[in-house]
Amino acid sequence: MDLNALNIFVTLFKTGSTLRAAAKLNRSQSFVSKILAQLKEDLGDPLFIRTASGLQPTSYAIQIAPKLQNAIEQISIALEPESFSPAKLEFISIHTSESLLVMIAKPLINKIRAETDAIVELRQWRKESNNQLIDGNVDIGIQALKERPQALYQKKLPVARPN
């Protein structure tokens, strides 16, 4: 069963109209009608009866709508990323090259201290640092990588120029 189709069903249930449901979902009315026809076939129930005042849900639709709405909300909650609060961190592990460490250690520690009281471990970049980053044993890696694994996110940092 397609989750998007179920979301369309719940929207139809709330709005009572394919036109209003389509507008709310930023879809065409024909798309919503097509999905409704497929749902009717898949579920073996007409789901809605056309009346002068709009779409009236069948008893089956009335029965499943709240359950589906709850399920969709639970899936949305499950897919939301966890919120991040640096203040809650207890430990931060940073690996970088020795030359970068000399240049950035003090400003980096000061920036981190402004956000958290976590223990900060600064270590020199080693062969195994890539894998430790991927495994989550190292929180931050600052290094010039010639070849990086696809599992690592890379962002070029601006170079501070002396005045």
Domain coordinates in residue numbering, the chain:
3-79, 86-142
pLDDT of 157: 57
pLDDT of 85: 86
94 close to 140: Cβ distance less than 8 angstroms: yes
How far apart CA 71 and CA 108 sit, in angstroms, is: 44
CATH annotation of 3-79: 1.10.10.10
The answer for residues whose C-beta is within 8 angstroms of residue 24's C-beta and 6 or more apart is 11, 15
Backbone angles phi, psi at 11, to 5 degrees: -65, -40
Q: What is the pLDDT along the chain (163 residues), one digit of tens a residue?
A: 789 999 999 999 999 999 999 999 999 999 999 999 999 999 999 999 999 999 999 999 999 999 999 999 999 989 888 888 888 899 999 999 888 888 888 898 899 999 999 999 989 888 898 889 888 899 988 877 666 665 666 665 555 555 5
pLDDT of 100: 83
The answer for residues whose C-beta is within 8 angstroms of residue 25's C-beta and 6 or more apart is 7, 8, 11, 32
pLDDT of 161: 56
pLDDT of 80: 85
Is the dihedral angle over the CA atoms 68, 69, 70, 71 positive or is it negative? positive
DSSP SS3 for 105: helix
* The two three-digit tokens of residue 159, written as one number: 């170079």
Place of tokens 């940073």: 94
pLDDT of 142: 85
pLDDT of 94: 92
pLDDT of 49: 96
